[in-house]
Amino acid sequence: MRTAIFLLAVGSLWGIEKAAPTPPPPDPVGDPAAQLLNIRRIFVDRLSGGPTAEQIRDMLIAAIQSSKLFVITENEERADAFLRGSAEDLVFTDVFSSSDSIDARASSGSSSSSGESSGGSYDHFGSNRASGRSGSLGVGENESSHTQERKHEAVAAVRLVDKDGDVIWSSTQESLGGKFRGSSADVADKITKQLVSEYNRVKKAGAIPPLAPSRPPIPQAASTGPSAKK
C-alpha cells in the first residue's frame, strides 16, 4: 500500500515538472545604434554646463538640421529620440616666454722687464730694455620676449536617448577652434559628423534594430465556473 502511494506521488510530481513551460532563451541585445534607422525627429534638450551651453545647443541644432538626415523638432511629444548632455566653452590665457643671450670674450697680453746687469744687451742709456702689450674684447647681447594669447576651448558630451530611456548613441568632443570657425561651432560640427557617420555605418551593414525581450506566456488558471462543466 505504501509503495503504491509513493509511486503515485512521484508520478504526480513528474507530471507537474513535465507540464511546466520552459522559459525562452534571452534575446540578443544587438547593436543599439541600429535604432538610428528608426529615428526621424530629434528633440535637442537643454544642455548643462553654464551660460555657454545654450549657445552650443543652438549650434548643434543648426548643424544637425543642415545634415538633412533628421528633423529637429521643438515638440517633445513628436520626437523619436532626445539629445541630452552637457557642454561648455572655456576661456583661458596662453602665456609664452622666451629668452636668448649671446656672450663673447677675448683677451691677449704680453710683458717684459729690464734692469741693470753685468751681462746682456743695453740700450744707449746703459740699462736693459723693457716692453709690454695687453688687449681685451667683450661682446654681450640679451633678448627676451613675453606674449599672452586669449583662447577658447569648447567641450561637449552628448547622448541620444529613445522614448524608453535607452541610450542609442553617445559622443564626447573638444576643440580649440578651427581655421574658419570658433571652438563651439567646431564641436557642434564634430558631433554632427560622428552622428552621420554612425548612421551610415549601421545602414551599410544592414543592421536590424534590437527588439524588446519577449516574455513567456502567462499560464491561465483552469475555469471552475458553470461554463467549464458544460
pLDDT tens digits for range 114-125: 555 455 544 554
pLDDT value for 25: 45
Q: Which residues are paired to 167 by β-bridges?
A: 161
CA distances from 157 to 28, 30, 127, 191 (A): 28, 24, 97, 9
Low-confidence stretches of the chain (pLDDT < 70) are 1-29, 92, 94-142, 145-146, 148-150, 207-230
pLDDT of residue 201: 94
What is the dihedral sign for C-alpha 205, 208, 210, 216?
A: negative
Q: What CA–CA distance (Å, rounded) separates 202 from 205?
A: 5
**Which residue, among 63, 44, 64, has the nearest Cα to 54 in the 3D structure?**
44
3 state SS of 162:
strand
Domains, the chain, ranges and CATH? 29-94+152-205 (3.40.50)
| pLDDT value at residue 50 | 85
Determine the pLDDT at residue 132.
Answer: 60
pLDDT tens, 11-52? 555 554 444 555 554 444 578 889 999 999 999 999 998 889
Q: Residue with C-alpha cell 558631433?
A: 191
Q: What is the 3-state secondary structure (H, E, C) of 41-101?
A: EEEECCCECCCHHHHHHHHHHHHHHHCCCCEECCCHHHCCEEEEEEEEEEEEEEEEEEEEE
Cell triple for 181: 570657425
pLDDT at 77 (0 to 100): 95
pLDDT of 16: 45
User: Which pLDDT belongs to residue 11?
Assistant: 54
